[in-house]
Amino acid sequence: MKSLRTLLCCTALVAGGSANATDLEVTHWWTSGGEAAAVSEFAKAFDASGDKWIDGAIAGGGGTARPVMVSRIIGGDPMGAFQFNHGRQAEELIEAGLLKDMTAVAEAEGWKDIVNPPSLLDACTLDGKIYCAPVNIHSWQWLWLSNAAFEKAGVAVPTNWDEFVAAGPALREAGIQPLALGGQPWQSSGMFNVLMATVAGPEVLQTIYGEADAELAAGDEMKAVFSAAADARELAKGSNVQDWNQATNLVITDQAGGQIMGDWAQGEFAVAGEVAGEDYTCLPGLGVREIISTGGDAFYFPVNDDPEISAAQDRLAATLLSRETQVNFNLKKGSLPIRGDIDLAAANDCMKKGLEILAAGNTMPDVNLLNTEDTNNQLNDLFVQFFQDESITPEAAQERFVEIVRNKD
């Protein structure tokens, strides 16, 4: 059966060309200008072989798109492919037999050899079978700094987190908000996880989230993280904004010293005409440890009885990871490619820093790979409260943190 499928898929791949003309509906949540341009690279590549990409974009991220995807699948009228953050999110759909096993394509295309870091493919794998096609890498561990803000405050642009904290009072005195932080919960927990990965180290994060190690969560290493978080809270006090990009805008307009945010913040700087190194500085791993997490997006393929659709799903998966598509897509998306064997000459300074770290192998799994969304949601609740409410001591927050870790699944 498996060999037959492999055979079928490869015939389809070989056949290529205009012989295939299948409409394949793809659901995703990439809708802003840059994102849409990136998606169109996928569609162009897919359509080139005669197939047709039917676009089903739903903005709002997982919270909005997820019920749509799940409804379509349990309603018995699934789309051809859909975007998910890879990680533990899709486990249940796989267990329920609703997602297609893509192992045959992966083997035919040699994904095992080309996907870098290999953890990305592991995230798609359950019981030895591959269920998804990773398409990009987004990392969280970046500190974005406004050069002009530090100049105005009369201090040098920090090169790491400690210098940044030390510069806080000077910034305040100059009427500058030291650290910008938006009010949405995911920003707070994201920032905490970055502090955890850089202050305590990626191994600690991996052990606590990956193995639910409550003892480590209660230990001194985490105590240091919580004290760093308290510093961050002090610095972030007074940033009255909600959206992450409003916070980024404070940095762009030099009203704030810095922001901890994922690499997508780069897009905002680019649109505002800012130049990396001149107008702003990016510190991967907060300048403490040069490390980036390899979260990102992946596509899953619901089981479909129609052999034509099924074959088209295979073709799409192969297309998404092809060298050319990866270059074109990621340049527009501002994310890093999942293949180690391509050259992004056109990348800007910050992206290049990221690529170097990636090439050096200084990566860690994304929190999504270790936590269920349920746990992430509880962390959101805890940290949004911690960062906004000064009455919660770091010790009390750590206690609640330990509870969440202990009960996580």
Partner 1 sequence: MSDPGILAVTKAGTDPVRAQLDGPSGTRPRRLISRRNIFLYGTLILVSLYYLLPLYVMIVTSLKGMPEIRMGNIFAPPVEITFEPWVKAWSEACTGLNCDGLSRGFWNSVRITVPSVILSIAIASVNGYALANWRFKGADIFFTILIFGAFIPYQVMLYPIVILLREMGLYGTLWGLVLVHSVFGMPILTLLFRNYFTSLPEELFKAARVDGAGFWGIYFQIMLPMSLPIFVVAMILQVTGIWNDFLFGVVYTKPEYYPMTVQLNNIVNSVQGVKEYNVNMAATILTGLVPLVIYFVSGRLFVRGIAAGAVKG
Partner 2 sequence: MASEAKRPIGLFRNLAAKIAAIPMILTALVVFLGGTLWTVTYSFTNSKLLPRADFVGFDQYERLWATERWQVSIENLMIYGLCSLVFSFIIGFVLAALMDQKIRFENTFRTIILYPFALSFIVTGLVWQWLLNPDLGIQNVIRSLGFTNFDFNPLYNPDIVIYGVLIAGLWQGTGLVMVLMLAGLRGIDGDIWKAARVDGIPMWKTYLFIVIPMMRPVFITTLVIIASGIVRLYDLIVAQTSGGPGISSEVPAKYVYDYMFQGQNLGQGFAASTMMLLAVAIVIIPWAMLEFGGKKRV
Residues that bind partner 2 (CB under 8 A): 62-64, 66-67, 70, 74, 89, 91-93, 96, 183-185, 240-242, 372-374, 376-378, 381, 384-389
Instruction: Name the minimum Å distance from CB 156 to partner 2.
Output: 27
Using an 8 Å Cβ cutoff, are 173 and 200 in contact? no
**What residue type is 185 in one-letter code?**
P
Indicate which of partner 2, partner 1, none lies near residue 374 (CB less than 5 to 8 Å, by partner kind). Answer: partner 2
Indicate which of partner 1, partner 2, none lies near residue 183 (CB less than 5 to 8 Å, by partner kind). Answer: partner 2
The residue (of 165 and 272) whose beta carbon lies closer to partner 1 is: 272
Cis peptide, bond prior to residue 158, ω within 30 of zero: no
The residue (of 43 and 180) whose beta carbon lies closer to partner 1 is: 43
The residue (of 33 and 118) whose beta carbon lies closer to partner 1 is: 33
Give, in degrees to the nearest 5, the angle at Cα 280 between 185 and 253: 70
The residue (of 155 and 312) whose beta carbon lies closer to partner 1 is: 312
The residue (of 92 and 203) whose beta carbon lies closer to partner 2 is: 92
Indicate which of partner 1, partner 2, none lies near residue 92 (CB less than 5 to 8 Å, by partner kind). Answer: partner 2
Q: Please, what is the angle between helix 33-47 and helix 307-320, to 10°? A: 120
The residue (of 221 and 381) whose beta carbon lies closer to partner 2 is: 381
Query: What tokens appear for 52 in the block?
Result: 């047709």
Indicate which of partner 2, partner 1, none lies near residue 28 (CB less than 5 to 8 Å, by partner kind). Answer: partner 1
H or E segment to which residue 258 belongs = strand 256-260
Indicate which of partner 1, partner 2, none lies near residue 223 (CB less than 5 to 8 Å, by partner kind). Answer: none
Indicate which of partner 2, partner 1, none lies near residue 241 (CB less than 5 to 8 Å, by partner kind). Answer: partner 2
Distance CA 253, CA 250 (A): 5
Distance CA 140, CA 285 (A): 9
Instruction: Name the minimum Å distance from CB 256 to partner 2.
Output: 11
Distance CA 55, CA 36 (A): 11
Distance CA 258, CA 381 (A): 24
Instruction: Name the minimum Å distance from CB 55 to partner 1.
Output: 4
CA atoms within 13 A on the CB side of 34: 14
Indicate which of partner 1, partner 2, none lies near residue 31 (CB less than 5 to 8 Å, by partner kind). Answer: partner 1
Query: What tokens appear for 130 in the block?
Result: 């591959």
Indicate which of partner 1, partner 2, none lies near residue 54 (CB less than 5 to 8 Å, by partner kind). Answer: partner 1
Tell me which residue has tokens 């997490």.
293
The residue (of 128 and 273) whose beta carbon lies closer to partner 1 is: 273
Q: Is 298 helix (H, G, I), strand (E, B) or coil?
A: strand
Contact positions vs partner 1 (CB under 8 A): 25, 28-37, 39-40, 43, 53-61, 64, 67-68, 70-72, 74-77, 79, 243-245, 249, 252-253, 262, 264, 267-268, 271-272
Instruction: Name the minimum Å distance from CB 75 to partner 1.
Output: 4
Using an 8 Å Cβ cutoff, are 121 and 112 in contact? yes
In the sheet where 132-134 sits, what is the strand order? 52-57, 23-28, 81-85, 297-300, 132-134
